[in-house]
Amino acid sequence: MVTGATGGLGLEVARELARAGAHVILTGRDPVKGNRALVSVRASVPNADLRFNPLDLAALSSIRAAADSLRATGTKLDILVNNAGVMAPARRMTTRDGFELQFGTNHLGHFALTGLLLPALAQGRGVVVTVASLAAWRGKMPFDDLNARRRYGPFARYSQSKLANLAFALELDRRARVHGARIHSRAAHPGWSSSDIIANSAALGEASGRVARTLRKAQKSIGGAVFRLLGQDVAHGALPMLYALSPDALDSGYYGPQGAGERRGFPGSAAIPPAASDAVLARRLWEVSEELTGVRYDWETVS
């Protein structure tokens, strides 16, 4: 299962997993984009074994419905790629459950999804790859205001959510080891990779489709040139996530491009920000995430 697989990095990861012979479940908010993604993958991988499942990570009800649907079929889940993300909306927005949109979608949504899918993961290979970002280096975890009710800065809250992603991946590995669970947690980041995340996020909540189209056009022309110069395209940006699924990857490993500043290049081990390695911070974040989402990991059933 790949979250946020209707475009960008998620679509590329799904494509390559299908090329390798996996049965791939693509997820996303928009069924129309989902169908287009299926067509896109099958155009390059004619015999691809895949399907689309609706999943809105900004709604706990949607997350529970998706997990219930998978469990009802008895599907064993070998791989979960926690990729979907929202980046820096200009104004504070919230999920359906009232969480700040970036923290709620990027972290809390994936925290809940992973916990609810834990039994299915334990029945399969149980590999979980969570996508972080270089922005995690700038992240802070304001536990007294995680949902930005008092203060909102678009990129500060994005960095917070990406620090949460990485801290979650490392804490998931710690807890799996303590409980002897068949879960293998890794993390990856794409470096500076051009995708639709900025334009899609900036257009959230806008009434005019013209606004979204203008933002996407600007990103492709201006932002795309910058990323091509200093970063890399989506296909190369997806490589660290794929590397995290390879036999060379280790549990608790963090992978990213090996070029200057980890912005571009072929994948390998990435530097971990000190805050993400803080076990006390990660434990507190885990406990708060349980309280906010109502999802508690049932380790007894997967050990």
Question: Which sequence positions are flagged as catalytic?
Answer: 158
C-alpha dist (Å) from residue 167 to 18, 71, 117: 29, 27, 19
Q: Using alpha carbons only, how large is the chain's radius of gyration in Å?
A: 18
If we measure between CA atoms, which residue out of 2, 1, 60, 5 comes closest to residue 30?
5
Is 10 buried (19+), middle (13-18) or exposed (0-12) by CB count in 10 A? Answer: buried
What count of other Cβ atoms lies within 10 Å of the Cβ of residue 138? 16
If we measure between CA atoms, which residue out of 289, 234, 221 comes closest to residue 12?
234
Structure tokens at 158: 């994005």
If we measure between CA atoms, which residue out of 13, 3, 2 comes closest to residue 242?
13
C-alpha dist (Å) from residue 191 to 1, 135, 184, 274: 22, 10, 23, 18
Look at phi and psi of residue 128 and say left if phi exceeds 0, alpha if psi is from -120 to 50, else beta. beta
Residue-level length of the chain: 303
Distance between CA atoms of residues 279 and 214, nearest Å = 43
C-alpha dist (Å) from residue 169 to 28, 61, 196: 21, 23, 24
